[in-house]
């Protein structure tokens, strides 16, 4: 793994599209749920958002743990 590959993987993030896909709702629903409460644009979050966010967070954590392991192996003792 080179520097660019490692930093690309490190800087990857979950997007609004990822959350919308996990919830099977349009991206606009996510944007509206994120709008400030009390504004005309605000809507309630989609049902099941907590579980979907938890799944995405866990997947990100596993991905980053895997990256950390590969980078630790790469910096281990050289023979």
Give one word for 29, left, alpha or beta, with left for phi > 0 and alpha for psi -120 to 50. Answer: alpha
Q: Which of 14, 18, 17 is nearest to 60 (CA)?
A: 14
Instruction: Give the pTM.
Output: 0.86
pLDDT single digits (tens) 8-17: 999 999 999 9
pLDDT at position 78 over 80: no
Q: Round the CA-based radius of gyration of the chain to a whole number and report it.
A: 18
pLDDT single digits (tens) 17-38: 999 999 999 999 999 999 999 9
Q: Which of 10, 9, 13, 15 is nearest to 30 (CA)?
A: 15
Domain boundaries, the chain: 3-74
pLDDT single digits (tens) 33-65: 999 999 999 999 999 999 999 999 999 999 999
- Residues 22, 19: Cα–Cα separation, whole Å: 5
């Amino acid at each position: 793994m080179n520097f660019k590959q490692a930093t690309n993987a490190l800087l990857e993030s979950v997007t609004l599209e990822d959350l919308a896909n996990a919830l099977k709702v349009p991206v606009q629903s996510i944007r509206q749920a994120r709008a400030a409460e009390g504004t005309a644009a605000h809507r309630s979050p989609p049902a099941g958002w907590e579980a979907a966010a938890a799944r995405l967070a866990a997947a990100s954590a596993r991905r980053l743990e895997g990256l950390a392991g590969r980078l630790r192996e790469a910096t281990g003792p050289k023979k």
